[in-house]
Structure 1
Amino acid sequence: MTTHTALIVDDEPDIRDLLEITLTRMGIETLTAPDLTTARQLLEKHQPQLCLTDMNLPDGNGIDLVHWIQQHAPATPVAVITAYGNMDTAIESLKAGAFDFVSKPVELPRLRELVNSALRLSEAEPDADPDTDEPGLLLGNSPQIRKLRNQTRKLARSQAPVFISGESGSGKELVARMIHLQGPRREGPFVAVNCGAIPSELMESEFFGHKKGSFTGAVENKEGLFRSANGGTLFLDEVADLPLAMQVKLLRAIQEKAVRPVGDTREVPVDIRVLSATHKNLPELVQEGNFRQDLFYRINVIELAVPPLRERADDIPLLASHILGRIAREYECDPAALTPDAIERLKAYDFPGNVRELENILERAFTLCDEDRISADDLHLGNGVQPAGSASGPANPGTDAPSVPEGEIDLEGFLETIERQAIEKALEATRWNKTAAAKRLGISFRALRYRLKKLGME
C-alpha cells in the first residue's frame, strides 16, 4: 500500500495541529514547517504528494512558495490557505500555479475533498511524460496546436477556473474535455451546457434544480446541472449569453461551492470545477455593462485561447483524414481520400466556421464523390450551389411531389417525408438493389447509403 506524504506550512501551531490530525486520520504522513525557509529545506529532502501552505508566513507568503514549487518541485500540487472571503488572494494564488485554495476557518469536508483530488493527481503523475505530445482529442502537429495541448496538460493539474476563448466551431468544448480527462476529476462526470439554449425563465431550475411542487410543472425533484456535475467538471459554453440576473446567482454558486434548488430553504454543497467559453468578446461586454465584472474575474482566472483553423492550415490534412474515417464508420461505407488539389483548396480556404465547417464540407463531399476520391470540385467551396444529386435531395424521385399543406408546416419534416417516399419507391422499383436505386434517383451509391443511415431506413 502506497503511503502518501503531505507538507503543512503554517506559523500558527494550532492550525498545524488541526491539519496534521485531519490528514493523519486520512492515512497520510505529514511534515510540518513554520516558515518558507524550513518548507524549502523539507521539499528538497522529500517528495511530498501535497503541500498545504498558509498565505501569511514570517519570511514571505504562500504565493512565494507556490512560485518556488513550480520551479523546483512541479510534480507536487500546492494548495493555499487564505483568509475568509479574500477571493483576490485566492485568485492570485491560482494564477501563480496553485492547485487549489481553502479559506479560513478551514472546513474539514472541503479540506478532505481538496486532499483527495491532489492525491489522485499525484498518483497519475508517474505515468505521465512531460516531454510527450499525445494528441488526444486535439489533433494536429502545428506549433499552435502543440502549444495548446501543452497548456491543457498544465491546466489539468489545477482546479482553477479556466475561460476558453475562440471563434465558433474552433473546438472549445474539446479543449474543455481534454482538461477534464487529464485531471484528477477524470473519473467524475463532464457536464457541458450551452447557456444560450436555455430559456431565461427555466435557467435557475436547470442550473440548481428544484423541489417537487415548487412551481407549476415541477412534478418531481430535479437535481440540476451543478449537482449532476458533482465530483467532476461543469462546462459553461456561451457563458456570455447568460442574463444579468442569472449571472449574480451563478457567481454566488461558484464562490460558495453550494446551490439552493428552487423551492428549497437550504443550500446543497457541490464539488465541481467550472470551465467556461464563448466566441464573444467578454471584456467588451463587461465594459458595456452586459456582463458582470465580478463574475468575469471569477471565471477568467486563467484564459486559454483556441486558434482558428485558418491559422493552422497545415493541420487540415490530418483533421480531414480523421473526419473522413469517422464518417465512413458511421455510414458503413469505404473510406474516401482527398486528392492533392482538394487538400490545397482546403488549405487556402478561410474557414469562418472553423473545424465544424470542415466537418460539414467533408460530410457533404463524402456523399458526392466517385470512386472514394474527393476532388476540389466535390468540395463546393465559395458558393452555395450544389449539383443535381447533391445533399439537397434526390434529383429524380420518380413521383409527383406532394402538394404543400396550407397553414404553418414543419418544413424540415415535410421535405424529409418527400425524400423518404422517393427512396422507398426507387428501392421497390429496383427490388431493393441499392446501386440501381441510386442510379434511378440520380445520386451516387455513397449518397444513398448516407441518406438511408440519416433517415433510419436501413
Structure 2
Amino acid sequence: MKPIWIVDDDESIRWVLEKALARENLATRSFSNARDANDALQHDTPQVLVSDIRMPGGSGLELLQTVKTKYPGLPVIIITAFSDLDSAVAAFQGGAFEYLAKPFDLEKAVELIRRALDESLREASVEQAPAETPEILGQAPAMQDVFRAIGRLSQSNVTVLITGESGTGKELVARALHKHSPRAAQPFIALNTAAIPKDLLESELFGHERGAFTGAQASRRGRFEQAENGTLFLDEIGDMPFDLQTRLLRVLSDGHFYRVGGHQPMKANVRVIAATHQNLEQRVREGLFREDLYHRLNVIRLRLPSLRERREDIPILTRYFLTQSAKQLGGDAKRMTDGAMQFLTGLDLPGNVRQLENLCNWITVMAPGQSVEVKDLPRDLIDGGSFAAVATPPPGVMTPLSMPEGSGALTPASSAPVTGAVEPDTWVDSLETEAARMLAAGQPDVMGMLGRLFESALIKTALKHTHGRKNDAAIRLGIGRNTITRKIQELGIDGAKDE
C-alpha cells in the first residue's frame, strides 16, 4: 500500500498527523508546500492526499485540481479554517473527498483518512486489470467464427452485444475484444447488472455525490467514470431495471450522464460491451426491455456457441482444466482414457464450459489413480447423464473433501480421510457448502453475495451483543463508526442506535 501524503506548511499539524497515523501502522510522507508535492507527483503517487488550502508555493485547491486531472480516483482531503467555508465549497466542487475544519479532532481526522483509504483501495481493486487475459480455447468451426469476429473488430470502438447460454465464456470474449482494441491500455471494467440490488445499481453505474442519499458521506465515481477511455462490460444486461435502461440509453446516445444527486453533466468516453443469456427480442415484446436501447446495443451481435455445438472442443478443454486444477492443488494432472473422453464428449452439459470446469475439479480430487475411466466419473453422469449431483461421491470412496449433494463443486473439509460424504460441522464447512452450491448453479457474483451475507451476520451479531449500540459494535468488530453506519444502511440492517 502506498503512503499517505500530508501537505501543510504548519510543522505541528504535519507532526501530529504523522504520529497519529503511525500508531495506525500507516506510512506517511510529508511536504511543507504544494510545489514540492506537485514535483513528487511527477514520479510517484500517494494512497490518500491530505492538504491545507493556504500555503506558500501554491494553494491546496490548485494541488487538488492537478491531482484530479491526473488521478481522478485519488481521494484528497482538504484542511481548511472555519473562515474558509467558501473554499471548502470550492474544494467539493473540485472533487475533494472531504474537508477537515481547523481546529480538528485528531481521532475524527484519523477516521476520515481511514475512510478515504478504504475508498482508494476499493477503486484500485476495481480498476486493476487482470495481469493476463485468460486464453479462449476452441478449434471448432463455430469458435473459429468467434475468433474471426474478434479480429475484425480489433480496430473498432463499436458497441458489441454478446449473446449465448450461461457458462459459454461471454466475459472472456469481452476481455479479448478490449485487449485487441485501441483502448487496450485503458481500464476494462466489468459489472454484472443482475448481481447488484436495484437501489444500488444506479450509483454503481453513474456514481453519486456526497449527501445524495442516506449513507453517501462522500462522492464516489461510478463504473462509467472508472472505465473512462476504456471499456465497460455490462453482463446480464437483460436483467437491468426498466428505469435504468433509460439512463443507459442517454449515455449511449449522447455520451453524457449525471451522478446520483448531481447537477453537472459528465462526459463519458467509454466503449460499451453488453452480454446476456436471455432473448432480448422476446423481452422487448413483453415490454421488459426498451426497444430503442436494444437497437443501440445491437450494433454488432456476437453469438457464442454452446458446448453442444462444439463437442470437438471438449477434449482440449478437459485437458486444459485438468492441468489447471492439478496446478492449484499441487499434484499431477489426471489423464482421461479414450473411453472416458468419448463419454464426456457425448454429454449435453447444459452448464457449458463452466460446468465442464467444475467436473474437471471433481475428477482431480475424487477420481482414483491418474488414468480416469468411465467408471471413475460421478455416478449420476454414468447412470443418466445428469449433472445435477455430480459432486456426490460414490459410497465408500476415501476422500479428504466434503462433497455436499448437488453442489457440483469442491468443498474442503477435514484433512483426515473419511468414507462417503461428510456433513458440515463448522461454520467454515457450511460456508464452503453454500459456495459450492452457488458455483454449481452458475450463480453470478458469488464472492459479492456471500460477502454481504457474511458482513450482515457479523454486524447483526455485534449489535445484539451491544444491545443495538452501533458505536460499541464498531469497536468490538474493529471497524470505524462511519464504516459500520454505511454498512448498516447498505445492508438494510434494523435495530441499531447511536448511543
TM-score, structure 2 as length reference: 0.52
Aligned residue pairs, count: 277
Equivalent residue, structure 2, for 1:387: 394
Task: Give CA deviations for 1:394-449 in whole Å, capped at 9, x if unaligned.
Answer: 59xxxxxxxxxxxxxxxx9xx98xx74x43xxxxxxxxxxxxx43xx2489xxxxx
Q: What pairs up with 1:42-441 in 2 under 5 angstroms?
A: 137-380=135-378, 381=381, 382-383=385-386, 384=389, 385-388=392-395, 389=397, 393-394=401-402, 420=413, 422-423=414-415, 437-438=416-417, 441=418
With over 3 angstroms needed to count, the CA separation of the structure-2 counterparts of 1:172 and 1:149, relative to structure 1, is same
With over 3 angstroms needed to count, the CA separation of the structure-2 counterparts of 1:154 and 1:136, relative to structure 1, is farther
Contact (CA 8 Å) 1:166, 1:305: kept in 2 or not? yes
Structure 2 residue identity aligned to 1:229: A
Tell me, in whole angstroms, the C-alpha distance in 2 between the residues paired with 1:317 and 1:297. Answer: 38
Q: Report the Cα offset of residue 370 of structure 1.
A: 2.0
Structure 2 residue identity aligned to 1:282: L
Structure 2 residue identity aligned to 1:243: P
Structure 2 residue identity aligned to 1:308: S
Contact (CA 8 Å) 1:364, 1:391: kept in 2 or not? no
Tell me the SS of whatever aligns to 2:288: coil
RMSD: 2.6
% identity of equivalent residues: 39
Mean Cα deviation higher: 241-250 or 135-144: 135-144
Structure 1 residue identity aligned to 2:394: P
Tell me, in whole angstroms, the C-alpha distance in 2 between the residues paired with 1:291 and 1:240. Answer: 7
Q: Report the Cα offset of residue 180 of structure 1.
A: 0.7
Structure 1 residue identity aligned to 2:185: E
Tell me, in whole angstroms, the C-alpha distance in 1 between the residues paired with 2:375 and 2:158. Answer: 47
Equivalent residue, structure 2, for 1:120: none
Tell me the SS of whatever aligns to 2:176: helix
With over 3 angstroms needed to count, the CA separation of the structure-2 counterparts of 1:192 and 1:390, relative to structure 1, is farther
Tell me, in whole angstroms, the C-alpha distance in 2 between the residues paired with 1:165 and 1:179. Answer: 14
Q: Report the Cα offset of residue 256 of structure 1.
A: 2.0
Contact (CA 8 Å) 2:236, 2:277: kept in 1 or not? yes
Structure whose alpha-carbon radius of gyration is higher: 1
Tell me the SS of whatever aligns to 2:301: strand
Contact (CA 8 Å) 2:228, 2:268: kept in 1 or not? yes
Q: Report the Cα offset of residue 296 of structure 1.
A: 0.3
TM-score, structure 1 as length reference: 0.57
Tell me, in whole angstroms, the C-alpha distance in 1 between the residues paired with 2:236 and 2:181. Answer: 23
Q: Report the Cα offset of residue 141 of structure 1.
A: 1.1
Task: Give CA deviations for 1:41-95 in whole Å, capped at 9, x if unaligned.
Answer: xxxxxxxxxxxxxxxxxxxxxxxxxxxxxxxxxxxxxxxxxxxxxxxxxxxxxxx
Contact (CA 8 Å) 1:394, 1:442: kept in 2 or not? no
Contact (CA 8 Å) 1:170, 1:307: kept in 2 or not? yes
Structure 2 residue identity aligned to 1:275: I
Tell me the SS of whatever aligns to 2:191: strand
Equivalent residue, structure 2, for 1:20: none
Tell me, in whole angstroms, the C-alpha distance in 2 between the residues paired with 1:273 and 1:379. Answer: 44
With over 3 angstroms needed to count, the CA separation of the structure-2 counterparts of 1:379 and 1:229, relative to structure 1, is farther
Task: Give CA deviations for 1:290-312 in whole Å, capped at 9, x if unaligned.
Answer: 10000000011011110101111
Q: Report the Cα offset of residue 390 of structure 1.
A: 7.7
Tell me the SS of whatever aligns to 1:179: helix
Tell me, in whole angstroms, the C-alpha distance in 1 between the residues paired with 2:400 and 2:223. Answer: 38
Structure 1 residue identity aligned to 2:331: C
Equivalent residue, structure 1, for 2:51: none
Task: Give CA deviations for 1:261-320 in whole Å, capped at 9, x if unaligned.
Answer: 111110121211000011110011111111000000001101111010111111111111
Gaps of 5+ in 1: 1-134, 396-411, 424-436, 445-450
Mean Cα deviation higher: 253-262 or 274-283: 253-262
Contact (CA 8 Å) 1:161, 1:300: kept in 2 or not? yes
Contact (CA 8 Å) 2:228, 2:269: kept in 1 or not? yes
Tell me, in whole angstroms, the C-alpha distance in 2 between the residues paired with 1:272 and 1:168. Answer: 26
Contact (CA 8 Å) 2:367, 2:377: kept in 1 or not? no
Task: Give CA deviations for 1:159-179 in whole Å, capped at 9, x if unaligned.
Answer: 111111101111111111111
Gaps of 5+ in 2: 1-132, 422-428, 434-499
